[in-house]
Amino acid sequence: MEYKFIWIIAIFCTTTTLQSIHSEFAPLKHSLTSFPRNSWHDPPPSQLFTSKPLFPQLTHINSNSHDDDDVGEEGSNEITTTHEPLPYFSDPYNSINVSTQLGTNIQLHCRVDNLRGKTVSWMRRKGDQLTLITFGHHTYSSDSRYSLEFEEPNDWKLLVQYANERDDGAYECQVSSHPPLVLLVNLAVIVPKVEIVDERGTSTPEKYYKAGSTIELQCVISKIPQPTSYITWMHGTRMLNYDTSRGGISVKTEMTPGKALSRLYIANANRHDSGNYTCLLSNEIKVSVLVHVLNGEEPAAMQHAAGSTLCLNPFILVVFYILNLHTVMVSFQQR
């Protein structure tokens, strides 16, 4: 009797619960029945069971989480970072020696790759002192002979016009990276030696020739870092290299490593050929000689030299006599 009573109570509770559930889902049933039938798409039976995941995004996330778990198990303390590439010099050196000739134009090269917005500047170093010459594309030097020229794709060239001895020294090309890049350029300005010599190779400030003879002047230039065959001869302000108005003028130049020899020939010399002759390699490298063309008279300088020789002859004879006398006395004492 007790069991029957318990079953009755259980059935009553179940019935009450089902009624409450039915009343709660009644609005949902009404909304589903009011939904257009043609919007429903029943999948074919072949797609009811498939190996594809129902939620691929969740599966992708889940697989990534598994991968992360695997990475964490192998080494969770490893952190990877990507560094920004730094600028670098395309030439395989950090210092270079450059030489140029006095009075020439020189280019100092600084080739930088992967600049990435950094700035290139040129500095002049004198001991511990640095002087700014250029910054980026702008020139800040008070010397107008300095300028910057950028040549694609990566060459920041410092131009120095009419190099002189004051330009000799150290220059730095700097890149504003961290740490900064520095290219050291040591510039040597070489001053060639120029002299005019006679037929015996002796340097002389003056030359004497007789009328009708051939004037021959030799110009010797040494310490030439950049060989050149263009040596100019001037008579006063007139260039003789290509002079055809007088006739009988020829210039022959020979070049050897680090040295040049230029000869000037003027046939059938006359008094109009007298004057100042200049051999020049540039406006800063030149030497002059004074040429005299005489009509048979003996120049005063040669007369003075001859007189000096005559005056010296008696003195030389006296010295010679004293030396001989001393030798005789020594030999007599030894006996």
pLDDT tens by residue, 58-70: 344 344 444 444 4
Q: Is residue 21 predicted with pLDDT exceeding 70?
A: no
State what percent of residues in the chain have pLDDT above 90. Answer: 47
The secondary structure of 212-251 as a DSSP string is TS-EEEEEEEE--SS-----EEEETTEE-TT--SS--EEE
Phi, psi of 333 (to 5 degrees): -65, -35
Which of the two residues, 83 and 131, has the higher pLDDT score?
A: 131
Pick the residue with more confidence: 50 or 248? 248
Residues 90-119 have a mean pLDDT of 94
Confidence of residue 8 (pLDDT cuts 50, 70, 90): low
76: pLDDT confidence band, cut at 50, 70 and 90?
A: very low
Higher pLDDT, 230 or 189: 189
Distance set, CA 155 to CA 120, 139, 304 (Å): 10, 16, 64
Give the CB-side neighbour count of residue 315, counting CA atoms within 13 A: 5
Mean pLDDT of 33-53: 47
Q: For 249-286, write each residue's pLDDT tens digit.
A: 999 998 888 888 999 999 999 999 999 999 998 777 89
Query: What pLDDT is attached to residue 206?
Result: 93
pLDDT of 241 above 60? yes
- Measured at the alpha carbon of residue 236, what is the angle toward residues 234 and 240, in degrees to the nearest 5? 30
- Report whether 292 contacts 299 (CB < 8 A): yes
Q: What is the mean pLDDT of the chain?
A: 77
Contact assessment for residue 133 and residue 145, using Cβ atoms and an 8 Å cutoff:
no
Q: What is the CATH number of domain 88-190?
A: 2.60.40.10
Mean pLDDT of 74-96: 76
What's the pLDDT score for residue 211? 94
Pairing of strands 129-135, 138-139: antiparallel
What is the C-alpha radius of gyration for the chain, rounded to an integer number of angstroms? Answer: 51
Give me the phi and psi of 153, to 5 degrees please.
-95, -15
For residue 16, name the pLDDT band (cuts at 50, 70, 90).
low
Tell me: domain 193-294, CATH 3.40.1280.10, correct? no
Q: Where in the chain is the domain with CATH 2.60.40.10?
A: 88-190, 193-294
What is residue 56's predicted lDDT score, i.e. its pLDDT? Answer: 44
